[in-house]
Amino acid sequence: MVKKNIAILGSTGSIGTQALEVVKAHPDSFSVEVLTAQNNADLLIAQAKEFSPNAVVMVNEDHYLKVKEALIPLGIKVFAGESSLASIVEMDSIDLVLTALVGYSGLQPTIKAIEAGKTIALANKETLVVAGELITALAKQKRVNIFPVDSEHSAIFQCLVGEFHNPIEKIILTASGGPFRGRKRDELVNITKAQALKHPNWTMGAKVTIDSASLMNKGLEVIEAKWLFDVRADQIEVVVHPQSIVHSLVQFQDSSIKAQLGLPDMRLPIQFAMTYPERLPSNFPRFDFTKYPSLTFEQPDTETFRNLALAFEAMKRGGNSPCVLNAANEVAVESFLADKVGFLAMSDVVERCLEKVSFVAKPSYNDYVETNRETRARAKELIDLRI
């Protein structure tokens, strides 16, 4: 495998830190060219000292001087601000950009990286949720590969290797069900953020963990799958699989189903996205069938967990509706984590925004920007009215 120079956007988050574990395990295969962080200056400094990137970006400009003073003497270039985050991906020396940013913030840097012809390892599902049509068209135009990092989409991609000439009949995304699987609406009225942040199987950042508890994460993954694998809404199914061993499945037109299995460990899909088409050795824990004598599957409860149904509705409607869904959800989750809105009320905010925000059937990039702005303002108004 030819050594790849990588940029990790969001290196201090859960995906970014695990990506650096992969890099550390394979120093002959990867060189870190760029690291970026939103707020965690101390960890960014420590990572830069260990991996010696060409440059770093501290998005929050309040921490710029601290990072600069620590790294400039080491010959590491230091930049600050969102504009630097978007432009750094254009560096000629970068081979692959891992976008591990959270939410809408990943859109512009991903667009810039595709325009610069960089291979993308995509951990920022919101990029395709918000602007899937724009992103996939641009990637085709620039002949850029987008390799999925989410465990479910990586599983689908792995099932499709060697099958790209065979039409997909159905994609089956698995969901753990989160910490509240089996509970009804009246049991979720007084859920706290501490309870929602206790995922049974995965260790993730706060935003993704709350999304998983509300099933919005699965809804966003459904929309991402549509664009990644060029399928219709009626070709995507979600099943709840509490053990999180079967990461997703693909059914072909002859009725055969392929599945990808493994222990819940994000380093595997991260490594596969970074090394495809190679499979490098790893010391990751191995799955033992005898320790999992029963793997179970059930239908999701979309009446209790309405976000999944709302995501399917937004995907079927198309246009800027998924952008509305994402923006409203980001505001709702932020407010839930700040104790400003209840767990069930997050779905109410999303639903109201889908009803009220201006619909655009064929959005441009500027339409997405305006939709994001309008939706966030509308969501904040709705939440303020509930307080």
pLDDT level of residue 73 (50, 70, 90 thresholds):
very high
Write down the pLDDT at residue 222: 97
Write down the pLDDT at residue 204: 74
Q: Is the pLDDT of residue 316 over 60?
A: yes
Report pLDDT digits (tens) over 16-45. Answer: 999 999 999 999 999 999 999 999 999 999
Give me the phi and psi of 226, to 5 degrees please: -55, -45
Cα(368)–Cα(324) distance, integer angstroms: 9
Write down the pLDDT at residue 387: 53
Mean pLDDT, rounded, for 69-97: 96
How is residue 270 written in tokens?
């991260």
3-state secondary structure of 58: strand
pLDDT level of residue 102 (50, 70, 90 thresholds):
confident
pLDDT level of residue 1 (50, 70, 90 thresholds):
confident
Average pLDDT, the chain: 95
Report pLDDT digits (tens) over 275-313. Answer: 999 999 999 999 999 999 999 999 999 999 999 999 999
How is residue 367 written in tokens?
């339409």
Cα(215)–Cα(300) distance, integer angstroms: 9
How is residue 180 written in tokens?
């509240």
How is residue 261 written in tokens?
């299995």
Q: What is the CA radius of gyration of the chain?
A: 20
Q: Is the pLDDT of residue 181 over 60?
A: yes
3-state secondary structure of 77: strand
Write down the pLDDT at residue 201: 73
Cα(233)–Cα(272) distance, integer angstroms: 26
Order of all β-strands in the sheet with 119-122: 77-80, 55-58, 30-37, 4-9, 96-99, 119-122, 146-148
Among the listed residues 291, 309, 288, 310, the one whose alpha carbon sits nearest the alpha carbon of residue 300: 309
Mean pLDDT, rounded, for 354-381: 96
Q: For the chain, give the number of residues.
A: 387
Among the listed residues 371, 320, 370, 328, the one whose alpha carbon sits nearest the alpha carbon of residue 349: 328
Q: 339 Cβ partners below 8 Å, 6+ apart?
A: 193
Please name every residue paired with 147 in a beta bridge, in sequence order, or none if there are none: 121
Local structure of residue 221 (DSSP, 8 states):
H
Write down the pLDDT at residue 350: 98
Q: Is the pLDDT of residue 7 over 80?
A: yes
pLDDT level of residue 352 (50, 70, 90 thresholds):
very high
Residue with tokens 């600069």: 68
Hey, CA dihedral for 315, 318, 319, 324, is it positive or negative?
Answer: negative
Pairing between β-strand 168-175 and β-strand 246-252 as defined by DSSP bridges? antiparallel
Write down the pLDDT at residue 104: 87
Q: Is the pLDDT of residue 346 over 70?
A: yes
How is residue 157 written in tokens?
């991609």
Q: 79 Cβ partners below 8 Å, 6+ apart?
A: 55, 56, 57, 58, 88
Domains, the chain, in order of start with CATH, read 4-148 (3.40.50.720), 150-265+286-305 (no CATH), 318-387 (1.10.1740.10)
Write down the pLDDT at residue 205: 81
Report pLDDT digits (tens) over 215-274. Answer: 999 999 999 999 999 999 999 999 999 999 999 999 999 999 999 999 999 999 999 999
Mean pLDDT, rounded, for 94-115: 94
Mean pLDDT, rounded, for 36-63: 97
Q: Is the pLDDT of residue 340 over 90?
A: yes
Q: Is the peptide bond before 27 cis (omega within 30 degrees of 0)?
A: no
